[in-house]
Amino acid sequence: MSSSCAVSPSVRTEFVNPISKRFLAPSRIYNQPRSKCEMSRRNFAKGIVASGVSVMGSSLTTEPVQGVERLPFKPEGYNFWTWRGQKIHYVVQGEGLPIVLIHGFGASAFHWRYNIPELAKRYKVYAIDLLGFGWSEKAIIEYDAMIWRDQVVDFLKEVVKEPAVLVGNSLGGFTALVSAVGLAEQVVGLVLLNSAGQFGDTKAKTTKPEETALQKFILKPLKEIFQRVVLGVLFWQAKQPARIESVLKNVYINTSNVDDYLVESIKMPADDPNAGEVYYRLMTRFMLNQTEYTLDSFLSKLSCPLLLVWGDLDPWVGPAKASRIKEFYPNTTLVNLQAGHCPHDEVPELVNKALVDWLSTLEAKPSLQTV
C-alpha cells in the first residue's frame, strides 16, 4: 500500500538533507541535550506519509549488505495468524527472549530484512505486518492508533505468549509505545527508532464546534468526493518508479540499500484490490486526527526501560524529538546514528549492535533471568 503520493515535489525538496549521502559514523551515547525544538504537526504528517512508499515491480537482483545476513524475500509471505477474522502476516526466527519488530507507515515485516536474521542468533524474533499494511489483510475499517495497539497486544497474548521486547520504527514506534502501556506486565523493554507521534499542545482547543446543517449535508459530502478524486490520482502517481526512487532517496541518507528487494516489498501490497480504499481511509481519517493521542500521555504511563535508536539525519523526525523524549522519560538510553528515517535498514549493522548491547543489559536484570 502506498503513502508517498501525498508529498508534492516541492515538499520533497524541503526535506532533502545537505549532509553527504556517503558519510556514516559509529553510534554514540547521547546524554540529554536541552533542545526544545520539535517537529510541527504539519511536518509530522508529511514525514510519516512520505516514509511509506509504493513502486512498480522489478526483479530482486541486488546483493545484500556485505557481512550482514538478509531475510529471504518470499512473495507469498511467511506465517499467518487470524485476528478478528483478518489475516495477519508475521515472520518468526530464533530462540530466546522474544523481540517483536513493528514496521512503519507503508512498509512491512520485510523492512526488517537485515535485523531479523542477525537478532535471531540470540533471540526469538517476530516481525509483524500491521493490519492494512504489508501482507496483512487490507481491511475496510475505520483505522485508528488503537486498532494497531489491540492487534499487537493480542499478538503478544496469543502468539508470543511470554514477556517480550517491542521494537518499532516510525508509525511502528508509536504503536509499540501504546502497546507497551496497554500490556505492561508482558512488555519488559521498548525500543523506538525515529518514532512517529507528537507531544501534546496544552494550548490546543479540546472541543470541536458543532456542525451546521450546511456543513453536514452539503459541504462535508462535497469535501469527501473531492478527497476521493484527488487521493485516487495521488495513489496512482505513487506507483511510478521515478517518484518512488526520489522519495526513498530522501528517506535514506546513504541510498545503497534502496534496492530491488526494498522496492518489491513495498510495491506488492499496493496491488491489493483494497489498497486504494485503505489508503484513502488512512489519509482522511487516521492521518488527520493525530492530536487525539500524544507521546507524553503514553510515556507518562510507561514502566519499562526505553531505548531510542535515532537517525540524526532524518529529514522529518530530527534528534531534538529524541532528546525531548529522554528528558520526559528518564529511564531512557539514547543512541544517535548518522542515518535517516529508517536506520534499521540503512545502517543495520550499527542498529543490530545497539540493540544487542542494550538487550544484554536488560537480560542481566533479575526480573528477566528466569525468562
User: pLDDT tens string for the chain (371 positions)?
Assistant: 433 333 333 323 222 232 233 223 333 333 334 343 333 334 433 333 333 333 333 345 567 777 889 999 999 999 999 999 999 999 999 999 999 999 998 899 999 999 999 999 999 999 999 999 999 999 999 898 899 999 999 999 999 999 999 999 999 999 999 999 989 889 999 999 999 999 987 555 555 556 555 444 454 455 565 455 555 556 555 655 667 667 787 889 999 999 989 988 988 888 888 988 887 888 777 666 666 789 999 999 999 999 999 999 999 999 999 999 999 999 999 999 999 999 999 999 999 999 999 999 988 776 665 44
- The whole-model pTM stands at 0.79
Is residue 62 classed exposed, middle or buried when 0-12, 13-18 and 19+ CB atoms within 10 A define those classes?
middle
In sequence order, which residues have a C-beta less than 8 Å from that of residue 235 and are 6 or more positions away?
Answer: 2, 5, 275, 276, 279, 280
Query: What's the pLDDT at 341?
Result: 96
Q: What are the backbone angles phi and psi of residue 12, rounded to the nearest 5°?
A: -60, -35
86-93/98-102 β-pairing: unpaired
Q: What is the pLDDT of residue 54?
A: 32
Where on the phi/psi map is residue 53: left (φ > 0), alpha (ψ -120 to 50), or beta?
Answer: beta
CA angle 248, 253, 256 (to 5 degrees): 70
pLDDT score of 327? 97
**What confidence score (pLDDT) does residue 179 get?**
97
pLDDT recorded at residue 356: 98
What's the pLDDT at 241? Answer: 66
Q: Which CATH superfamily is domain 79-201+290-363 in?
A: Alpha/Beta hydrolase fold, catalytic domain (3.40.50.1820)
Rounded to whole angstroms, the Cα distance separating 355 from 290 reads: 29
Pairing mode, strands 86-93 and 124-128? antiparallel
Compute the half-sphere exposure of residue 68: CA atoms within 13 Å on the CB side of its CA.
22
Place of cell 483505522: 143
